[in-house]
Structure formats: structure tokens, C-alpha cells
Amino acid sequence: MNPIIYWFRQDLRLRDLRGLAAAVATGRPVLACYILDDEGPGQWQMGGASRWWLHHSLLALSEDIERAGGQLYLASGRPNAILARLAEQTGADLVCCSRQYEPWAQTLEASLHADLEEQGVELKRYGGSLLWEPETISTLAGTPFKVFTPFWRKCRTLPLVLEPDTRACFAMWPSSAGRPERLSDWGLLPESPNWAKDWDDIWHPGEGHANARLEAFLRGGIGDYDVGRNYPARSVTSRLSAHLHFGELAPARVFHMARQAALANPDLQEESDKFLSELGWREFSHHLLFHFQAMPDAPFKDDFEAFPWVGGAAALRAWQQGKTGYPIVDAGMRELWQTGYMHNRVRMVAASFLCKHLLVNWRAGQRWFWDTLVDADLANNACGWQWVAGSGADASPYFRIFNPTTQGEKFDKRGEYVRHWVPELAALPDRYLHQPWAAPEKILKAAGIELGLHYPQPVVDHRNARESALAAYADMRA
């Protein structure tokens, strides 16, 4: 009996997977493979944090497949050549996979379909990485949405298909398929230096941990989600973003379970709706990238091409290293470097600071987040940075410039977050924690702090930086 090849991509799970369910339903052997290919035409090569997560996610998937009686075949290179070779060696006449929506993925899938068809092999693609397929959602005029609220209103009228809960049985790879590559040979983990040495205690990639994380969130954090998610010291956010990006969890299952939690407890309805709207922003970002493929490289609003980004390498480096002199910004950047994650409220503050205080091009921030976030996602990252910069769809107005001092005082009033990530300021009283430059000398001395030595002076003055940013915006519009 000829086997079917199931090509895992950003869907590293066995449960709730349409393409895998369809392959298993044929009753034919299913040959599971993953191809490392992030250097093809037009691709953004995965950042270091993503590669760390991918290694552990593939390890978990391999173990799950082995428990089901199969083996995950690993190969690196161009999918066209590898899948054609595997089909020829094993006699497979069908390749199933989940869709991806990045610009390069659309190009790859079109070329792969043509190449395999010449060989007599069919390629079948399935949804499941998003709640709805991007091309199925449009305005009354038949055009893509550019504003989130009407987009999400339209989405909420659409039926949602819960993925089939498939328990796959895999055949072992026949010897004719050749020897698979070893995960350890791919060099996905950092070594010199090993900046992720503590991450095994922070993150637990894999489908099993993703489902456990979802259930724990719905039991606990969602009850305070609407308000509590803005406070970085609270453990209120779901932290599901990396699991969703790598497909360890189906978004439809997340949506369904959150909605069921609200049905079981009507007091959670408002919290559930807010959480689901965050899933909606994920959908909206992919909707935009699917229809406007230049999003990661060019401003959505053309006039921002003329914006005078005058911030230089020194300003970018101070921001990257968490040495701007603004505690809430520095805390976020240090959390990012040490954990591969930054709280969403702080992401907005830190991104706004780079673009509007330091006048550094949003593309530089996007690149840094791409390399350092475990949940780095091309659509979310590009749309988020353009939103903050003011150049994106449904963007924050450019004149909305976060004051990092008042943001810290409002959302980290008692300083738990800043004191954790910027310990050199821990002894400062709350009154001065978010503006150490305003502390009297005797207060600084009592706290063991000399500005410029133990903690930097502010790289810019907020008031002056705000005026410069607004002047630059006026110049651009002129």
C-alpha cells in the first residue's frame, strides 16, 4: 500500500490537525516529515530564540510520534527537492500539509504543487493555523479589511470549525527513504555563549505543555484578564503566543475552550471576549500580511517612507541592552534578552520609545524582536511595529507617544517588575523608582546608586524627545 507523506510545518502537533486527519482517514501508512528550510528566496531566517523553541518543539513532536508507532523524518534544504525524492523512494503519491500565509510560503506552495504534479504526486493543503482563511474575509466591497473593529465584527459572524481530534497511527519509515538527519546536527541551540541556559526552567515547548498551559490559564488568569493583562508583574496573560506560532495548539481549540469557559461561568464573559479579541488581532495581522505582502519591509502608509529617522547605532544599542535610563523600558528589554519574552504592555512602551523618543526606524526594532522573541511571528511582528510607529493599518496615531515614566508609575506602581529586572534600582523608594534622575542625591546615595555609574542617565529628555518626534512628523507631512 502506497504511503502518504504528511509534511509538518508550523503545525507541530498531532491533535486538531485537518491535513493529518485526512491522511490517516485514508487507511494508508502516514510518513511524517519535517523540513528545515528558512533560507529560501524571500524568507526571513529564523531568529535565535525561535530556533531554540523549534529544537524543543521538534523533540517533543518526535517523541509523540514515536509513542504512536512512527518516526519523524528530518531533512534540511528545499522542500521541492526533498519531497520529490521521498515520494519517489517510498512510492507516495500524495503529500498533505497545512497552509502557511507568509509571502514566501505562498510562492513555495505554488511551485511545489507544479513540481510534484509533474511527478504524478498530488499536494493537498489544509487550513488550521488560523481561525479563518484570509481570502474568505472581505468588506462589502470585496476588499481586504484595513481596520480591526469591523474585521473582527465580521469574523464573529462566521462559523468556526473545531479541528478533528485525530489520534494518528504512523508507519515506520521504510529503509528506502534513507537515513534522516539528526536534530542535534542542525545547530538550533546556542552554545558560545549559551544565552538560553535558563530557558528550560521558563519555557516548555510541545503540544502537551501547550494544552496544559491553556487549561491552566482558563482556570486561573482569565478571571482578571481584561484589567490584569496590563500589569507586567502579574501572571495574568496566557503566554500561549509561541505555542500558537509553532502550531502546538490549534487556534480553534483556544477559541472554543475560552468560549466554553464563559458559557460555564457568565461572570467570565467580558474577560473571555477580551481574550478572544486578542486572538482576533492575530487573525487581523495575518489577514493584512496575506493581502499586503510588503508589510515587513515597507510602511503600510506610503507617506512614512519620507519620515526622517535620525536615530543612530548608539541609540539602538542602548535600547537593545536595556540601558536607556528609563526603568520600565530597560526592564522590558532585559526581560526580553533573558527570557525570550516581553510583556505586551511593555512591548508597546519599549517600541514607542525606540521609534518616537530615539527616532530609530521601526524596522530595526522589528529585526531585534524577530531575533530575540520566542514567539516571533512575521505578521504579528510587522503589524505590531507599524502600529506603534503610526505607519500601519488601524495604527496608533503618531502623536500618541507613551511617556515611559507615567506608564511605569501607572502599571508598575509598586515597582515589582522594575525591581526584578533592574535590580540596581531595587533600593530606591517607589516615588523615584520610575524617574531615578529626579531623586535627591542623598536618596540615591542611600540606595547605593550613582547615576552614570550604576545606572545610566536618561539617553534623552522625554519632553524634548516628544517635541522632536512631533516636529519630524510635521516635516514628513509637509
Q: Which residues are catalytic?
A: 278, 281, 309, 344, 362, 385
Instruction: Give dist(CA 91, CA 85) in Å, integer.
Output: 10
Instruction: Give dist(CA 96, CA 151) in Å, integer.
Output: 30
Instruction: Give dist(CA 412, CA 406) in Å, integer.
Output: 10
| Cell matching residue 371 | 531575533
Instruction: Give dist(CA 292, CA 315) in Å, integer.
Output: 30
What separation, in Å, do the N-terminal and C-terminal C-alpha atoms of the chain show?
Answer: 69
Distances in whole angstroms, Cα of residue 259 to Cα of each of 132, 166, 249: 17, 22, 16
Instruction: Give dist(CA 442, CA 249) in Å, integer.
Output: 53
Across the beta sheet with 122-126, what order do the strands follow? 72-76, 30-36, 4-8, 94-98, 122-126
Distances in whole angstroms, Cα of residue 180 to Cα of each of 29, 61, 86, 169, 336: 18, 15, 11, 20, 34
User: Which of 355, 351, 359, 357 minimizes the C-alpha distance to 332?
Assistant: 351
96: helix, strand or coil? strand
Q: Are 268 and 261 in contact (CB under 8 A)?
A: yes
CA dihedral 166, 204, 262, 230 (to 10 degrees): -150
What is the DSSP secondary structure assignment for residue 457, as one 8-state letter? P
Distances in whole angstroms, Cα of residue 338 to Cα of each of 63, 86, 410: 28, 40, 24
